Structures are given as structure tokens and as C-alpha cells.
Structure 1
């Protein structure tokens, strides 16, 4: 018996992703208005996902929302709002005040430290548990550095292990 394909892995049309972005923007604009926080929204489609970025050059109150845990929670709320509006599962990515770029830089440092452990003789280096999006970034960073990475574990304990090819 074969498993049915995962709905979350099915290809999504550009039009559907743009609709996700629009639905997310509507939800986030309402949320920012309620919280009286200023911010400009930028919508994009990257790597088969709707990508919504909230930036502000004038209103520093947006910085309060850029904590990684807060961004993750707001992303989940936004995904639920999009799913409610479109009727489809959403894998959109939310970035607030550059939080995703900052997190990518942190993950690059983690991979670099893991590479140092490998150079010092370790056969593999385990990274802490992280979200699927962060693990995807780690896999990309590791590949860029000529390393092999695999994810292990289940649920919130899922983590990445890096080794030499």
C-alpha cells in the first residue's frame, strides 16, 4: 500500500500563492491596526511559498514583534487566517522587521560551529531542535558549505545532524 501524497507538498500555482499573500496582508493590516503598530507590507513569492514581510522605518514599536517566538506565533495565526479565507493549507513565511534574515545569520553561525567540530575530528554534529523552515535553511547552508545534513527526531524534538560527505 502506498501513502497518499502530502497536501502540503503539492505544487501550488503562482495565482494561489499571490492570493495567500493578499489574504495574509489583509489579516496582518487588521492586526497591526488593532495594536496601533505601523508597518509596511511587502508581498512576494519565493521557493513555492507566499512570503510576507512587515517593515517600518518610522515606527520602532514593530521591533517588539520581531522576537523569533513572536514571529513564529504570528506566522501560525496568519496561516490559519489564510486557510480560513482560502480553504487551503498555507505554508506562507512571515518576516517582521528583518527577523528572518537575522535568524538566517544565526543559523549560519551554528552550521559554521558544527563544521569546526567536524574539522576537530567529530564524526557528526547535532544542532538544536528547530522548526521545519529553520531546518530547511540549515540544509541549504550546509549544502552551500559542502556538508551533508539530515533531520532526525519527531515533532518539537526534530533536529538536524551535520557531517562530512
Structure 2
């Protein structure tokens, strides 16, 4: 005789599993994504190596090359727009192949790492402005991944940040800790 979990508990267990993917599932996502990206690079006749790393509950994929490549820079696009689109296409491919939504992060030629430094500086400048004026400061709209980087930087500086707005107008407002 087997004991069955109540429907509520089993639904909660499934939800918890989806929220905290296992390392093996993240590695599978990374492998599926890497295969997809390699095929795209081959079709476009672009040289690049793909590095896969699992950290902080996400798969991180980086397309890198030993020398500067205009073709890879084109895959980043202006302000990372092409990179964002390619990341979403890669996530859709992973969903199609695995049946699981992916939160993978794609980087090309170190763009995201460089951008993280810029975002940290934006956060520092906004905190300085809040200190000086005593008033909350709103930043320009940005994507979810960039907002997360700014939220983390602001929290490290001991200030409060909140996302406001909808869709492409979603932005961060920084204020002093109460």
C-alpha cells in the first residue's frame, strides 16, 4: 500500500521543483542551448567557442573568440538588443527540447560582464544623488536581468530599490533606507 500526497502538496512539490532546478537539469539546458547556438554559428559561418557554466541556479553560456570579431559584435547589436533576442530564441529552443522554462543567460564577447560594471556605476551615481537630494531617483527603463544587477548593487550600498512601471517602461526607483 502506497501513501499518496494530497493534491495540494504534490502541486506545491512540482512548483518548488520548477522554481529550483537541479544542477543536472541546468547542465542539460546548457547542453541543449550550446547545440542550438553552435548550429546557428555554423549556419552564419561565424567562429566562436561556447563556454557553459552553472551558477546561482542558472545556466550561463558565453560565446567567445580569441580575436576581435565583427560578426560576434553584430550578434550583440546596439545596446545588446540582438543579444537579448538571441537569448530569448535560445530559451525557446530549450523549452521546446526539454519542456522546462529556462532562465539561462547568454553573453557574447563579454558584453554582459562589461555592462554589469556600467550598471554598478549607474547605481552608485544614483545613490549619491539620493544622498545629496534626499529624494528618490528614477533610472531609465531596463530589462529584468539588468534591473537585478542594479537592485543588488543598490542593496550592497545600503539603499532601497524598487521596480516600477510595466513592460518596456519598467524601471528602478532608488530611495534611502528608512
**TM-score (norm: length of structure 1):** 0.91
Q: Deviations over 1:124-160 (max 9, x none)?
A: 1111111111111111111111211111112221111
Match of 2:5 in 1: none
The structure with the larger Rg is 2
2:64 pairs with 1:55: yes
Match of 2:156 in 1: 144
Match of 1:30 in 2: 39
Q: How many residues align?
A: 162
What is the root-mean-square deviation in Å for CA atoms of aligned residues? 1.9
Structure 1 residues without counterparts, runs of 5 or longer: none
Q: Which stretch of structure 1 is more off in the superposition, 135-144 or 115-124?
A: 115-124
Greater than 3 Å deviation, 4+ residue runs: 4-9
**Structure having the larger proportion of residues in helix:** 2
Q: Distance in 2 between matches of 1:8 and 1:118?
A: 40
**TM-score (norm: length of structure 2):** 0.85
Q: Deviations over 1:24-58 (max 9, x none)?
A: 00000000011111111110112111110110013
2:154 pairs with 1:154: no
